[in-house]
Amino acid sequence: MEFIINEWYLDWHRPDASQEEQGKARIFLKWLQNSENRIVLLRNSPFTQKLNNYRSQYNYHPMSQIYLKMFFTQIFQNFNNCRIIETPPELPIEIEAILARPTEPPFTNIESDRYLFQSAETTNEKIIVTTDTKLIKHFENNGRFHLIHVEDFISQYNI
């Protein structure tokens, strides 16, 4: 299975993330290392930009640096665990319409999540794993992409 993750995963490696989040991020990393599943990432997306930023920003914090380095070397640079997309594909008109539709107040920037849908468009499964409940609600019943909350994904795949 191929699936998409957004920045929650990186944020859960931050030194100021809760112990629970850090623990889940480490378990998720171990699961990725040992499974036949892989993530799909768009190069030069908010995810890859944040990855590069955090790798340098948390260089002083040993535990964050260790796990981010493990993710970078064992997942991000490993074709078996991660597929990198160089050029984003076109999205279907109906998905473009949902991206353009305003969200319910309080408004969120759905456009900044475009890279998730572009990445998912290149997969068979079209699964996006996120903590953004507003995004999940906004794309409810879209008929194409399957947005799933991280907690539900972890539970569903016994991670």
The residue among 69 and 109 whose pLDDT is bigger is 69
Q: Which residue has the higher pLDDT, 88 or 100?
A: 88
Query: Is the predicted pLDDT of residue 86 greater than 90, yes or no?
Result: yes
Number of folded domains that form the chain = 1
The per-residue pLDDT for 1 is: 96
Name, in order, each residue with C-beta under 8 angstroms of 23's C-beta and a sequence gap of 6 or more.
none
Q: How far apart are the first and last CA of the chain?
A: 15
Please give the model's pTM, rounded to 2 decimal places.
Answer: 0.91
Please give the Cα distance from 64 to 19 (Å, whole number).
Answer: 12
Is 90 exceeded by the pLDDT of residue 105? no
Q: Where are the beta strands (DSSP E) in the chain?
A: 2-5, 38-42, 82-85, 127-130, 146-149
**Does residue 10 carry a pLDDT above 80?**
yes
Q: Give the structural domain span for 130.
A: 2-156
pLDDT in tens, 110-140: 778 999 999 999 999 999 999 999 899 989 9
Nearest to 12 by CA among 52, 59, 51: 51
Residue 18 pLDDT grade (very low, low, confident, very high; cuts 50, 70, 90): very high
List the CATH number of the domain containing 89.
Answer: 3.40.50
